[in-house]
A and B are shown apart, each in its own frame.
Chain A
């Protein structure tokens, strides 16, 4: 294979202390091939993406290595030569097109400026590319500014901008994160098609294994700034040989069948926190004394690379029980609903966002509310908790009429209905300690002041957080820990109903698994839960029944298995078809 891109020993360090963000990365890539780079927060994958264009963010520096495209080492170039190489050889697509496109410049200007030569010819080329990516190519469209486009259109423009100069390599950094699944499916299809048709080699960086599995021929698994496994996609899914790859796979939920999600304990090391041993050692189930020394990257048959001394054992043990030992609970007719909503109509200003939405929630069950952005699912949960002002309808808690706004509700109702927010970084007051946040909730409902400390400790214990952390401030906790504390605060109020709004969408998949399992446990203890999400795989993992929202209307409802196995509404069918799955090779 003649390599289009050859990366050797790419090392990127933090300016301040020379700590390695990316540590000696090497791989090669042929024309038309798509290589996935997968890893969680802090794995260094985004730094790699930029490094492939010989670029480092302020505060970081490329300390060594080679990035050779078509025989040209980008890292050896300076000034005009480097600019020239970035125009001709490599292109980059950023995660968020809303910030990556210049808001002040017309699309035409931004597309034209990456091309040399006469504008007339270049415009022809631009129009062709625009049609390829499925966008209009007329002058009126070219005169638009980025904010006049939808998110999906913006990302198409970003991709068009990347391929218009016919680069040999294109680097995509989480290009579909933040897009709805239907848009994501189209963008992924486009990337595959462009690489195949134009012979472009692509690096596709993502935190989402299912996305990478869909688009990539081979996958690099990164952890703590290191390549831990480089493997053909099929082989990764079928027989991971690195413990981290294996653990990551076990944490990914599936929309097709209910699985037990296995979280990875502990947390990933930050830059500069790594020691001489194996970087995954502290969280690894296979770790032995041999792991105190940094394992070498072993080349294996089939072009595979693994950095683990116990790869054979890992592969042998690879089958993690995936089928859920906890089946979905059938609807228990005898138990009366604890929360009922009837005929909810909600508005934002003059615009109606919810139309006659009704639902019922029984104790010990989880109801998922599913929808894409704009479906009104978050508004629904804000109505139920009493934070949304403009809505009508009827609510009943435990059979008793519940006033619509939180202000009008009796204290008992406010205690029994608790809420956990999507954003773990906003849900706790940064100026309060964790313990004080929980104690504030207790004080509100007139708990015995002398017992507060004990109750706080107990609540933290229930979400598997050490009571010692009660003295900490939120800034000292990880995102997963904060989300647990937010759940603990809700639990301390002894709620009957817990409303969870996308509580895992800001978390890494390994952390998400632990939060989901925690919530599942609480449901088993008799809590009623309303879980708002856009992710069907999470619905399958946690919910007993499901309500599908589209543009403010309930389009489908029923038991989870029934709805996800045999969706009846075209919207649900489409959603399910676009939801990516890890191919079930593991059996």
Chain B
């Protein structure tokens, strides 16, 4: 109990420093900025790209697997359709499904994690055991199982990705909230009888905002990964729609002849997932810095 008087300088450096909201601090991290920039660019590309497409993405414009030529800048795919037009159209589903899944998963996961950490006891046991059941399924397996039953409906895919991602978020946020709950200011709030809802909202939530931001980035990356993988193995977006994951699958037999038909959507998928990872890495770095840990 008689804790060693830690010298102030040391203790202070471990404290979340800097004034003002955590978001401003996060924005100051270059990786976060790059991530958000890439994310915005990819999203704009996915939603607005279709307007710029030179051809109808579902109609052949030449021979199958034709190499690039003037006007058909990225060549054609296995059915002779314009690769550029299909890439421009191919993010439309992903660009709303992935962020929707990620945001929902983080919101639900955070609520579950905070509740489990705050109430402990049977609430904690019940919630976290339920999470364990979901955790037993790799995300792709879970999605595949249900899509096989109910068919590849976009809203179902979103729901499944959310279900697959929630347990991870819940565990991380629970882990981040536990030490905060042990902090004296939360103890004080309990002792003076602050309502639990207020404690969760004003004392806990603001103090796990950085890990929440990390989760948002990580889960966006995972959501894109699962959705694109599902398209790739044929249980996501269905032909003849243009979709990046699907394009990789459709055109990979022609990889030796017309690599661009595969590499163009590959680049788009990677840019999208990397944007999420950059946000996560940047935010994690900010946390590590404020806690005086290595990154």
Contact = CB atoms under 8 A, between A and B. Distances in A.
B5 A506 contact: yes
B130 interface: no
A177 B19 contact: no
Contacts of B12: 425, 475, 479
B9 A270 contact: yes
Interface residues of A, number: 60
B71 interface: no
B289 to A, nearest CB: 13
Given A427-B184, A431-B22, A534 B1 contact: yes
A506 B3 CA distance: 8
A472 interface: yes
B17 interface: yes
Contact of A409 (B1, B17, B193, B209): B193
A444 B20 CA distance: 24
Contact of A385 (B183, B191, B194): B191
A479 B11 contact: yes
B11 A180 contact: no
Contacts of B203: 429
B150 interface: no
A422 B6 CA distance: 12
A493 interface: yes
Interface residues of B, number: 36
Nearest to A271: B9
A27 interface: no
Contact of A415 (B6, B15, B192, B194): B192
Contact of B190 (A387, A411, A432, A437): A387
A355 interface: no
Contact of B4 (A95, A431, A440, A479): A95
Which of B3, B22, B189 neighbours the largest number of chain A CB atoms within 10 Å of its CB? B3
A431 B191 contact: no
Contacts of B17: 475
B8 interface: yes
Contacts of A427: 184-185, 188
Contact of B15 (A95, A177, A180, A474): A474
A321 to B, nearest CB: 27
Contact of A475 (B6, B16, B189, B209): B16
A378 B6 CA distance: 19
B192 A444 contact: yes
Given A406-B190, A429-B207, A177 B185 contact: no
Contacts of A441: 192
B62 interface: no
A437 B188 CA distance: 11
Interface stretch (A62-70, A358-366, A369-377, A565-573): A369-377
The residue in B18, B185, B202, B209 that gathers the most chain A C-beta atoms within 10 A of its C-beta is B185
A332 B97 CA distance: 73
Contacts of B22: 431
Nearest to A174: B4
B207 A431 contact: yes
A507 interface: yes
A286 interface: no
A366 to B, nearest CB: 19
Contacts of A204: none
A430 interface: yes
B69 interface: no
Nearest to B193: A414
Given A426-B185, A427-B184, A373 B1 contact: yes
A432 B203 CA distance: 9
Interface string A30-46: 00000000000110001
A508 B188 contact: no
Contacts of A95: 4
A504 B22 CA distance: 30
Contacts of B8: 41-42, 478-479, 508
Contacts of A180: 2
Given A407-B193, A507-B5, A425 B188 contact: no
Contacts of A430: 15-16, 207
A426 B16 contact: no
A107 B200 CA distance: 46
A428 interface: yes
Contacts of B3: 178, 422-423, 502, 505-506
A567 B4 CA distance: 27
Contacts of A505: 2-3, 5
Interface in A421-474: 421-423, 425-432, 437, 440-441, 444, 472-474
Contacts of A207: 5, 7
A99 B191 CA distance: 33
A419 interface: yes
A325 to B, nearest CB: 28
Interface string B132-154: 00000000000000000000000
Contacts of B184: 421-423, 426-427
Nearest to B205: A431
B187 interface: yes
A476 interface: yes
Contact of A493 (B7, B15, B187, B192): B192
Interface string B199-230: 00011001101000000000000000000000
A406 B185 contact: no
Nearest to A373: B1
B295 to A, nearest CB: 14
Nearest to B16: A430
A419 B188 contact: yes
Nearest to A267: B8
A502 B2 contact: yes
Interface string B1-44: 11111111101101111111110000000000000000000000
Contacts of B209: 431
A9 interface: no
Given A476-B19, A506-B5, A508-B8, A429 B185 contact: yes
Given A377-B1, A422-B3, A425-B15, A41 B188 contact: no
A374 B1 contact: yes
A378 B187 contact: no
Nearest to A471: B19
B184 to A, nearest CB: 4
A414 B5 contact: no
Contact of A178 (B4, B16, B194): B4
B3 to A, nearest CB: 6
Contacts of A407: 190, 193
A409 B14 CA distance: 35
A429 B17 CA distance: 12
Nearest to A96: B4
Among B3, B9, B193, chain A packs the most CB atoms within 10 A around the CB of B193
Contacts of A386: 191
Given A41-B9, A178-B2, A386-B191, 10 more contacts: A387-B191, A426-B183, A429-B206, A440-B189, A440-B194, A472-B19, A478-B8, A506-B11, A508-B8, A535-B2
29 contacts: A42-B9, A371-B1, A372-B1, A386-B191, A406-B190, A406-B192, A407-B193, A415-B192, A419-B188, A422-B3, A423-B184, A425-B11, A425-B15, A429-B185, A429-B202, A431-B22, A431-B206, A431-B207, A444-B193, A473-B20, A475-B12, A475-B16, A475-B17, A476-B19, A479-B12, A502-B1, A506-B3, A506-B6, A534-B2
9 nearest CB pairs, A to B? A178-B4, A421-B184, A431-B206, A534-B2, A41-B7, A426-B184, A427-B184, A41-B8, A475-B17
Interface of B: 1-9, 11-12, 14-22, 183-185, 187-194, 202-203, 206-207, 209
